[in-house]
């Protein structure tokens, strides 16, 4: 057992007033007593106790200037359980820094430095609390923030100044050195983060038009290849015969004397398998040497599809094995006492980066919409044919099997094909950047000077890269946008809805479905590189976008108390008194700080910052009189029609009829009142 006591106050020569000793047993988690005295004054009276909400470290200060007390009170004003738990974490980290950090002339941090670290960590706590209203993230713990690169990068991006960069980088380095046994976790290495003000650039978002064009082309390729997959697999299997596909003259040189023993040459073989439309017409395969390149191009576009629809990184897709597809149960089928099905249950398809030969075992999984399931089957068909040609089991192969063995008898290596831009599909050459694309790109990052980046200039081919899909998917799939995206939503709706459903932080099974069981930690964890974290962090921007575009840019008048206020802001926009860029920037800041919240409702929008009991209970008509509601008459009209239709299915003396009728009356009363008011205003304007 080791004892630690760093901070001291010198009373006279050789006499010190020290805080309580903190004991730690090696290789075991650090236990901090609630009554641990961290600082004492000259009389030996405690001025900082671990369990207290105010710590005074002035007795241990080195200068004559008084220090501000370390107050945790402001962080728990909400009285929420999450806030108190965050403060407990906060205190633990501070104690670790106070007792174990090695620095300075005496080997410990000074009181002033501890105060500066307190101020920076307090910002991190507030950032965690600010995400509470984000339904896809929720209130983060400090461990979740400091051990997840995506979360931590998002927090760092909200801070400015070299002072913060220097201090927070030092905090992370101290915690790494102190170690997991004492801290409880190992934070992200600051070298992996962008703390400096250098020229490092964030991955760009693919402009909407180009993004849609990629989606269209990829979907077209998937549909075409899916028809050929079984024939393609059988065709590749034929290459276990080294003479198959060679010209007859070549076969003769290799020892085949009897023409009756000639194997099909490439053109004849392709036609026999009904693959001429794919291999000859589309990929120009005229001889055996061209086939490997054609298969590499097919794999390349299928790999692009996986990046596009899952957000997986380049190497993550390369690690995917043949047996990578599974189905996870989200909710079980529910029956009543008579055996009737009350709930059909729900399952989702997953793609995993790791398999074991003894059977399927996922260590990192991604949600796979139907398009990705088709892609997997296409790639499995190629790999299965290649495995049979090599005389091995497909389960032992990567999904993106290198098919170069077709051209060489001696090449029997089982490895992933090293795809490059040389394998890019022909349609990628026609993704030409227009002025509208460039304007959209500039709007996505106003602080970046795209005019000096040659690859993004108008008239150039868009420099498509796999890592762009990850950010673009998080951006678009969370319905974030600086432009209206109706066409994208219409075509991509299947993915955005499903991602919102499955990538919900508080969904109780998400760790077991998308993560893996860590035997050492004895719990299910999500891999830190998972797409879910990028998707979650796009939601704050999404809220700001929804406020701007659902409310401010709509031509439809808004009603309700909050709706009336928003309507006045819209008038300012129309008159040119304020620019939309200014409104958007200010809105994002308020959303990030937790001052603003927004979610769509059946009747329009809700800007309530906190839980709504009526929303939880499904009482949507309560929005009509709510101070935080923004009501659209078109949506009120739609619900009136729904209620009228629903009434026809109930008996008049039933409870359902009475409830629905009550809702209908409230809706029609609201509509009629607002329509009368609008008509009166129009008459006044005309006069």
Residue 12 — pLDDT band, cuts 50, 70, 90?
Answer: very low
pLDDT at 520: 67
- CA Rg, the chain, in Å? 32
Tokens 């401010």 found at:
552
Residue 547 — pLDDT band, cuts 50, 70, 90?
Answer: low
pLDDT at 516: 60
Q: Which residues contact 357 (CB under 8 A, 6 or more apart)?
A: 395, 396
Mean pLDDT of the chain: 77
Tell me if 580 sits within 8 A of 573, measured CB to CB: yes
pLDDT at 633: 83
103 exposed, middle or buried (CB, 10 Å; 0-12, 13-18, 19+)?
Answer: middle
DSSP state of 552: I
Tokens 């061209």 found at:
290
Tell me if 124 sits within 8 A of 64, measured CB to CB: no
pLDDT at 358: 34
Between CA 611 and CA 203 the distance in angstroms is: 35
Residue 105 — pLDDT band, cuts 50, 70, 90?
Answer: low
pLDDT at 3: 54
Between CA 412 and CA 400 the distance in angstroms is: 15
What does the DSSP assignment read for 48-113? EETTSSEE--GGG-SSSSPPPPEE-GGGGTT--HHHHHHHHHHHHHHHHHHHH---TTTTS--HHH
Higher pLDDT, 590 or 472: 472
Asked if the model's pLDDT at residue 583 lies above 70, the reply is no
Q: In this predicted model, what pLDDT tens digit does every residue of 47-63 receive, in sequence order?
A: 999 999 999 998 888 66
Share of the chain above pLDDT 70, in %: 68
Tell me if 129 sits within 8 A of 176, measured CB to CB: no
What average pLDDT does this structure show over 83-103? 90
Asked if the model's pLDDT at residue 411 lies above 90, the reply is no
**Residue 87 tokens, joined:** 């403060």
Between CA 278 and CA 261 the distance in angstroms is: 28
Between CA 41 and CA 17 the distance in angstroms is: 8
Tell me if 19 sits within 8 A of 38, measured CB to CB: yes
Between CA 468 and CA 491 the distance in angstroms is: 20
Of 7-11, 571-575, 587-591, 604-608, which one has max mean pLDDT? 604-608
Of 190-204, 335-349, 370-384, which one has max mean pLDDT? 370-384
pLDDT at 354: 56
pLDDT at 379: 96
Q: Which residues contact 256 (CB under 8 A, 6 or more apart)?
A: 243, 262
pLDDT at 587: 60
pLDDT at 669: 87
pLDDT at 221: 95
Of 47-56, 226-235, 309-318, 622-631, least confident by mean pLDDT is 622-631
pLDDT at 381: 96
How far out from the chain centre does Cα 626 lie?
A: 32
Of 1-5, 167-171, 273-277, 324-328, least confident by mean pLDDT is 1-5
pLDDT at 5: 56
Between CA 233 and CA 388 the distance in angstroms is: 9
Share of the chain above pLDDT 90, in %: 26
Higher pLDDT, 586 or 56: 56
**Residue 639 tokens, joined:** 């619900």
pLDDT at 199: 45
pLDDT at 249: 86
How far out from the chain centre does Cα 439 lie?
A: 25
pTM reported for the whole predicted model: 0.60
What average pLDDT does this structure show over 88-115? 84
pLDDT at 24: 81
Asked if the model's pLDDT at residue 661 lies above 90, the reply is no
Residue 486 — pLDDT band, cuts 50, 70, 90?
Answer: very low
- How do the domains of the chain map onto residue ranges? 2-192, 201-334+343-521
Q: In this predicted model, what pLDDT tens digit does every residue of 332-370 receive, in sequence order?
A: 666 667 777 655 655 667 777 654 433 334 466 787 888
Among residues 681, 596, 670, the alpha carbon closest in space to that of 635 is found at 670
* Antiparallel, parallel or unpaired: β 516-518 and 523-525: antiparallel
The three state secondary structure string of 179-237 is CHHHHCCCCCCHHHCCCCCCCCCCCCCCCHHHHHHHHHHHHHHHHHHHHHHHHHHHHHH
Between CA 630 and CA 637 the distance in angstroms is: 15
Asked if the model's pLDDT at residue 44 lies above 80, the reply is yes
Of 259-268, 407-416, 533-542, least confident by mean pLDDT is 533-542
Tokens 């700080």 found at:
593
């Amino acid at each position: 057992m080791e004892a630690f006591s760093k901070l001291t106050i010198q009373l006279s020569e050789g006499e010190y007033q020290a805080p309580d000793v903190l004991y730690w047993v090696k290789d075991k988690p650090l236990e901090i007593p609630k009554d641990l005295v961290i600082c004492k004054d000259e009389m030996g009276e405690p001025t900082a106790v671990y369990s207290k909400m105010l710590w005074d470290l002035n007795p241990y200060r080195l200068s004559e200037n008084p220090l501000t007390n370390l107050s945790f009170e402001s962080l728990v004003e909400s009285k929420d359980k999450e806030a108190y738990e965050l403060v407990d974490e906060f205190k633990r980290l501070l104690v670790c820094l106070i007792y174990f950090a090695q620095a300075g002339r005496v080997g410990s941090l000074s009181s002033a430095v501890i105060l500066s670290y307190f101020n920076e960590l307090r910002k991190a706590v507030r950032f965690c609390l600010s995400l509470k209203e984000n339904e896809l993230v929720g209130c983060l713990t400090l461990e979740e923030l400091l051990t997840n690169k995506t979360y931590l990068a998002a927090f760092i991006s909200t801070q400015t100044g070299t002072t913060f960069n220097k201090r927070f980088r030092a905090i992370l380095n101290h915690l790494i050195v102190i170690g997991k046994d004492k801290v409880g976790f190992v934070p992200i290495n600051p070298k992996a983060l962008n703390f400096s003000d250098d020229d490092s650039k964030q991955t760009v978002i693919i402009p909407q038009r180009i993004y849609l064009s990629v989606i269209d082309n990829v979907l077209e390729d998937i549909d075409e290849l899916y028809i050929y997959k079984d024939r393609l697999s059988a065709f590749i299997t034929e290459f276990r015969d080294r003479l198959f596909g060679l010209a007859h003259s070549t076969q003769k040189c290799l020892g085949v004397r009897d023409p009756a023993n000639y194997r099909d040459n490439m053109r004849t073989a392709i036609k026999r398998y009904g693959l001429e439309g794919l291999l000859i017409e589309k990929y120009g395969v005229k001889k055996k040497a061209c086939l490997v390149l054609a298969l590499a191009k097919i794999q390349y576009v299928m790999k692009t599809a996986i990046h596009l629809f899952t957000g997986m990184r380049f190497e993550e897709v390369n690690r995917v094995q043949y047996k990578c597809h599974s189905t996870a149960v989200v909710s079980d089928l529910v029956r009543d006492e008579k055996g009737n099905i009350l709930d059909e249950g729900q399952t989702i398809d997953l793609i995993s980066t790791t398999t074991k030969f003894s059977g399927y075992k996922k260590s990192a999984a991604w949600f796979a919409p139907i398009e990705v399931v088709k892609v997997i089957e296409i790639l499995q068909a190629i790999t299965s044919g290649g495995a049979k040609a090599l005389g091995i089991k497909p389960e032992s192969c990567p999904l993106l099997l290198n098919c170069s063995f077709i051209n060489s008898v001696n090449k029997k290596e089982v490895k992933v094909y090293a795809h490059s831009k040389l394998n890019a599909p022909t349609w990628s050459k026609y993704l030409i950047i227009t002025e509208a694309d460039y304007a959209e790109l500039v709007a996505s990052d106003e602080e970046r000077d795209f005019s000096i980046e040659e690859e993004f200039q108008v008239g150039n081919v868009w420099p498509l890269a796999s890592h762009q899909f990850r950010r673009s998917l998080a951006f678009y799939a969370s319905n974030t946008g600086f432009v209206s995206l109706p066409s994208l939503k219409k075509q991509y709706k299947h993915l955005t809805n499903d991602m919102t459903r499955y990538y919900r932080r508080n969904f109780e099974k998400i760790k077991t479905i998308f993560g893996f069981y860590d035997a050492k930690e004895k719990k299910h964890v999500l891999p830190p590189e998972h797409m879910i974290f990028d998707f979650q962090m796009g939601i704050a921007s999404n809220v700001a976008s929804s406020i701007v575009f659902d409310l401010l840019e709509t031509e439809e008048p808004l009603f309700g108390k909050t709706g009336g206020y928003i309507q006045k802001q819209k008038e300012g926009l129309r008159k040119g008194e304020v620019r939309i860029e200014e409104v958007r920037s200010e809105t994002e800041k308020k959303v990030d700080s937790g001052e603003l919240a927004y979610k769509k409702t059946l009747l329009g929008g809700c800007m309530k910052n906190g839980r709504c009991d009526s929303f939880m209970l499904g009482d949507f008509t309560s929005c009509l009189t709510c101070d935080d509601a923004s009501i659209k008459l078109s949506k009120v009209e739609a619900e009136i029609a729904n209620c009228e239709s629903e009434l026809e299915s109930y008996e008049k003396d039933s409870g359902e009829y009475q409830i629905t009728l009550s809702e209908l009356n409230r809706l029609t009363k609201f509509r009629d009142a607002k329509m009368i008011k609008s008509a009166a205003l129009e008459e006044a304007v005309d006069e």
